[in-house]
Structure formats: structure tokens, C-alpha cells
Amino acid sequence: ASHNSMCYHDNSLVSASLEALIQHLVPTVDYYPDRSYVFTFLLSSRLFLHPYELMTRVCHLCVEQQRSGDALLDKIRFREVAPKLVQLLTEWTETFPYDFRDERMMRCLKDMTHHVARGDEYSWRAMQQMTQRLIKRLSALGQYEEAVAALNAVAMERPASLKSKQASGQRSDVLSVCDDPFILAQQLTHIELDRLSFIGPEEFIQTFAMKDPLENHKGFFRKRKTSNLEAYVNWFNRLSYLVATEICMPVKKKHRARIIEFFIDVAQECFNIGNFNSLMAIITGMNMSPVSRLKKTWSKVNTDKFEILEHQMDPSSNFSNYRTALRGATQRSETAHSSQEKIVIPFFSLLIKDIYFLNEGCASRLANGHINFEKLWELAKQVSEFLVWRQVICPFDRDRRILQYLVTTPVFSEDELHLASYESEGPENNMEKDSRRSLRWV
């Protein structure tokens, strides 16, 4: 019966009822779901039901299907299916470990371990090892989240030295910490890859799940939400503000121009590395109005290189130049001989936007109540591309001092940037004069 409720086109699953999809995930003695199906359904099923509900139902079905009424036969059959269930749960815990931050998921995992232990020593041991790896991974995540929170707290402290531009001479500037654009780009790449590595694939989808009327576990999602994804977007904003702060802060025009030139070189190195996210953050910082209005400063800068980079990241025609460059970097990555050539760090906000519009642009359910699985394949395709990029190990040496500076040095707020900018080059027209009057150092 379940087969009747699954529709295929050219051998590819296009739609099915939720029940049939759940059944399709359940291993039996002579069936194990296709890997790409497992990933796609585990990723997107959260649009329709809570991961905990899915796990309970899959485990229950897997156990129940072995029941024949004959205790001995049941035991033999469960022994045959147990390794497959372990394999499924292993794929789940390794690809979506954050689902197991929910206690109920952990309890279900424990129950299954007990259940498996009755039949098969080997599977029981595999369950134990899987659980150990999962706990390790979750504790690394906890440490990462605490570390990011601590760094953000340091960055939020606003030392007196930043409160007025005259006094800010005491704050070291970026050039005193690192004056080599290639090294700085390498350290930015470390930060990007570190933060990317903690984003769970489900975070892209979880954002939509919260809006789904079928979602009735709002508490869980509100608590867990998409925090690593948000932390990563915050990093992008921080880098833009850092670039703008470094440029607006120096008292001397010559010094400001030197910093602009330095960041253009850093942006160029980011481009060469394939770090499009830092590249875009730097360009965004340079285009913030407190920076772009510094006409006298810019007149001292050779902007040829910057214009080429801006052209690469030009939003027109749906970022077509950038998309071409990203494809180039992806191809380089696929045939890479060194880990440096493997690096692809997408402009992240655009990736999120693409996935968002993909989700908004077509219905998750068809008129007959079936789930539109074509859409889920497409979501999975985009997210799995991200997973390949995420797993690159950053090959560069870490420089702790530079890294520390990049993530913790205080940056100006928007108002402070404007004030610093007016102190560098006074208001030019009445609008700027009004704007200058409305601002105060706080």
C-alpha cells in the first residue's frame, strides 16, 4: 500500500505521502534506503514533523516489522536487521548531531541501544561507539558556543580609548598587528572555516520549520533555532564594521589611505584563496557611507584593483559575475591537489537567500496532500554542496595574535563611524552638517 502512495518520474521519487516517506526510511532485513534519500529526508522532514517524532516512529516500525509472534524467529530476524538500524542511526548522528541536543532524542537512542543489546553484541558495541562520538561532538559544540559568546563579550566591552577619536590613538590598528595582506587573508579564512564547520546542515531548513503551521514543538526550535548560522552572519557584519573602523579611525589622511590600500590587497588575496565571504564583508565595509564619503582620502588611493573586485561581486543580474567565479572556485576545488586549492567559502548571505527563495518559491505539499519531494531534492542539493565546502581543513598557519585581534578588537557602532568620519573630513553640505549635529560620542 505504501508503494502506491509514492510517485516516481524517470526513476526519481517526485512525491509521496508523509507516511510512505517515513516507511521508506525504515530498514528491513532485505532493504536499506538509498544514501541520498536518507540525507534528503532527514534534512527536510523537519518541515513536517519534529526529528524526535520521526526517530520514534522509524525505530518503532523497524522493531515492529520483525514481529511474527514467534519469539525465537523474532530474535533471529531482529539480529539481521539490527546492523542496518545502527547504520541509519549512525548516519543520523554524524550528519545531524545537533538533533540529539534534545534529551528525548538521546533517550530514544539509549532505548535502542538496550533493545539492540538483546540481540546482537556487535551492533550493541557499534551503538556504544556511535554514542561516544556523538557526545564528543556535542561537547565540542558546547565549547565552541561558549568561546564565541566569550569573544563577543570582549568585543562588546567599549574601552575608553574608543570613545573619542582623539583618544583612540591608544588602540592598536590593524597594520601594527599584521601588515601582510596575504597573512591577514589567511587568518580571515581560518575564522570563516572554523565558524562554517559548526553550522549544522539542518540550520538552513530549521529557519523555515518555525513558520510551518504543522510545527507544534515551537519551544524546541525557539531554544535551539539556528544559532551557529546566526553567529556566522554576525561575523560577516563584524568584519565589515572592523574594516570601516580601521579606515575611519586614523587622524592622518595618508594613514587612512594606506589602510584602504591594505584592505584592497587583503580583499584581493581573499578572492585568490576562494574566500568570497570575507571578500564581500571587506567590500561592504569600504562601501559604508562613513568610508565612501571620505573623498580626500580616496583621492590618494589607486582604486583600479578595488573596482575589479567590486565588479566581481556586483549584485546585478542576480550576482552573475560572482556566481561564475564561485563555479570556477568549485571546479578548482573538485580537482584540487592541495588543500589550499580546495577552499571555497561562499558569500553566505546569498546562499541563505537562495535557499530561502527556493523554499518560498514552491509549495512543500501538493494539492493531494503529498509531499513535494522534487523540492526536497533541490534543497538537499544546495545544502550538500555547502557540506563539501564546510569540511575543508584550513591549511594555513594560525597566528593567535592576529586571530585574537580580528575577533575581539572593539569596533565603532554606526553612529561612532559617522562621527569619526566627520572628524576626518568635515561635513560637506547641509545634510551632512545636520547629521553631524545629531550625533554624540556616548
Q: For ligand NAG, give the closer residue by CB, 267 or 280.
A: 280
Least Cβ distance, residue 327 to ligand NAG (angstroms): 10
How far apart are alpha carbons 347 and 16 in whole angstroms? 34
C-alpha atoms less than 13 angstroms from C-alpha of 192 in its C-beta half-sphere: 31
Q: For ligand NAG, give the closer residue by CB, 128 or 324.
A: 324
Q: Binder to ligand NAG among 318, 335, 430, 438 (CB under 6 A)?
A: 318
How far apart are alpha carbons 372 and 381 in whole angstroms? 15
Q: For ligand NAG, give the closer residue by CB, 252 or 381.
A: 381
> Alpha carbon of 353 to those of 276, 295, 321, 333, 390: distances in Å?
16, 33, 17, 23, 18
Least Cβ distance, residue 360 to ligand NAG (angstroms): 10
Q: For ligand NAG, give the closer residue by CB, 302 or 324.
A: 324
Site string for ligand NAG, 277-316 (x = CB under 6 A): ----------------------------------------
- Taking only Cα atoms into account, the Rg of the chain, rounded to an integer number of angstroms, comes to 26
Q: For ligand NAG, give the closer residue by CB, 19 or 360.
A: 360
How far apart are alpha carbons 183 and 343 in whole angstroms? 16
Q: Which residue is nearest to ligand NAG (CB)?
A: 318
Q: For ligand NAG, give the closer residue by CB, 105 or 344.
A: 344
Least Cβ distance, residue 330 to ligand NAG (angstroms): 13
Residues 92-111 that bind ligand NAG (CB under 6 A): none
Least Cβ distance, residue 336 to ligand NAG (angstroms): 23
Q: How many CB atoms lie within 10 A of CB 435?
A: 16
Q: For ligand NAG, give the closer residue by CB, 318 or 438.
A: 318
Q: Binder to ligand NAG among 80, 261, 354, 423 (CB under 6 A)?
A: 354
Residues 157-196 that bind ligand NAG (CB under 6 A): none
356 counts as binding ligand NAG under rule CB under 6 A? no
Q: Binder to ligand NAG among 122, 356, 357, 441 (CB under 6 A)?
A: 357
Least Cβ distance, residue 357 to ligand NAG (angstroms): 6
Interface with ligand NAG (CB under 6 A): 318, 354, 357
